[in-house]
Amino acid sequence: MTTSKPMLAQEIYNRAKSEGIHTLDAPVSGGDTGAKNGTLSIMVGGDEAVYEKALPYMQAFGSNIRYHGRAGSGQHTKMANQIAIASNMIGVCEALVYAKKAGLDLEDVLKTISGGAAGSWSLSNLAPRMVAGDFEPGFYVKHFIKDMGIALEEAELMGLSLPGLSLAKELYEELSSAGAENDGTQALIKLWKE
């Protein structure tokens, strides 16, 4: 259930199969909040029959559980998840910095924009932590950098250019170099602090 390279998930699947063992790659998303509330999103790759057998166990801690196809597909889906989060986190930080500079009440701004087209899990769950100065990890900066690196490697193998993800990784690496590698991903806002 860790996040790893899709190729590794395929290697584990093939090795396990040769030993008569069933495996699934099933990374999760939803952070500490999702884990505590049993509402994690679980992205599953592997044999569908094995997924069906494992589903009741995953339902104990996940509420958005999806089968995505052959081995490695769960990892590819997690990369898509991380790509969406990476650029979104930049937008969340910039929105807060802008609203503060404009003299707005940040909590009121969040209540307003979270319910509109700008709404996202990061805006609803991590932006309030940013405003409160709470950088406790739901997901560590250092692990997010690892995931972004995997996504960029996979994108390169596919011949894709992902400039938003590249920028996000650079910003998070800067944050990590400043000593925040064990903070939560919402600590990105520190790069804009005066």
The Cα–Cα gap between 90 and 100 comes to: 15
The Cα–Cα gap between 18 and 100 comes to: 58
Among 31, 56, 12, smallest CA distance to 125 is for 31
Q: Which of 78, 101, 111, 142 is catalytic?
A: 78
Instruction: Tell me if residue 101 is catalytic.
Output: no
Other Cβ atoms less than 10 A from the Cβ of 160: the count is 11
Give phi and psi for 45, each to the nearest 5: -125, 150
Note whether 28 and 40 are within 8 A (CB): yes
Q: Helices 141-158 and 73-101 meet at what angle, rounded to 10?
A: 120
In three-state secondary structure terms, 66 is strand
Tokens of 167: 């920028």
* Catalytic sites, residue numbers: 78
